[in-house]
Amino acid sequence: MGEARTPNIESVRAARERLADLSVVTPLIEHPVLNERSAGRVLLKAETMQRVGAFKFRGAYNAVSQIDRTKFPGGVVACSSGNHAQGVAHAAALCGMPSVIVMPADAPRLKLQRTKGFGARVVTYDRQTEDRDAIARAICEETRAAFVHPYDNFDVISGQGTVGLELMEQAAARGVTPDAVLACCSGGGLVTGIALAAKAAAPGIEVYSVEPAGFDDFARSLKSGRRERNATMSGSICDALMANAPGEINFEIARRTMAGGLVVTDDEVRDAMRFAFAELKLVVEPGGAAALAAILAQKLPTRGRTIVAVLSGGNVDPVDFAAIING
């Protein structure tokens, strides 16, 4: 369900125009405790403060707002474990169209509830035994709805790239050109969109994906030069970062723009969530904390360097969050 066109810096800038009156320009945060610990300078892009509590609203709205209502009178269908689900549901509501979201039955309860709260009809499936894309295709055919892929989509990638436009401009306003940008990665919509924007502003910048151990298909793909697949579809606390392979469009962008992929364990992610809560007073979901975890666990050199990490989402179930913070 991907698209043949490849996003570029012009499509990212066009997305920013569509989002100008709706998306939150999230802050770029700096804290001395984090700088001291890294022996460098760390800037955190707080997408936890975006609409729906995650960066996903950007790409979702950029795609949904362009759907041809005469061609797709049934509205929009999407597949997601939670944040793209909320983004599409909210975008559809803003555009006055119906939405159906196909979500795994084991998605965090908070994400299921919030998706329904934005007005979507939620259809659940089993990650291990059912094909979510097949379910979505059947719904699209039945209702004459458009499908918006969570990452392998021209408009979604372009919308996510606005994170990169903002963070590079915010860093420049401080007189800083980052040495590297780190972003969590599932299928690659966020990190490849950021790479387009970051490389346009500073061609020498390094852009890295960050994935949970056991779900490092993007990192392995960048090493091998071909799209690799994960062996399983569940088994990490990072529920938002378990795509089975990089998107086709995403991987083509990544091969041209990215420096590599980093991998963090669930325990390192838990440590990052605790650090964000205790030191920065921020609530970050597991997948949203992956890039910060990579810095804290020294997955790349930070001494004397300026690194930007994207805190991509804050939609964590309160019970799960409390267990991690108190663990």
Whether residues 318 and 183 fall in one domain: yes
Whether residues 174 and 27 fall in one domain: yes
Beta-bridge partner residues of 209 = 183, 261
Whether residues 265 and 183 fall in one domain: yes
Whether residues 99 and 139 fall in one domain: yes
The 8-class DSSP code of residue 251 comes to H
Whether residues 244 and 132 fall in one domain: no
Sheet with 76-79: list strands edge to edge.
121-125, 99-104, 76-79, 146-147
- Predicted pLDDT at 4: 57
Q: Splitting the chain (327 residues) into consecutive groups of 10 residues, what average pLDDT does each group show?
A: 75 98 97 97 98 97 97 96 92 97 90 94 92 94 97 98 98 98 97 98 98 97 97 90 95 98 98 98 98 98 98 95 95
Say how many domains are in the chain: 2
CA–CA dist 43, 273 (Å, integer): 16
Whether residues 127 and 273 fall in one domain: no
Establish if 105 belongs to a structural domain. yes
- Predicted pLDDT at 232: 87
Whether residues 216 and 277 fall in one domain: yes
Helices (H) and strands (E) in the chain, counts: 13, 10
Establish if 1 belongs to a structural domain. no
Domain boundary among 147, 176, 210: 147
Whether residues 81 and 111 fall in one domain: yes
The 8-class DSSP code of residue 204 comes to T
Where residue 100 sits, what CATH number does that domain have?
3.40.50.1100
Q: What is the DSSP string of 58-115?
A: HHHHHHHTT--TTT-TT-EEEE-SSHHHHHHHHHHHHHT--EEEEEETTS-HHHHHHH
Whether residues 185 and 39 fall in one domain: yes
Indicate whether this model's pTM tops 0.85. yes
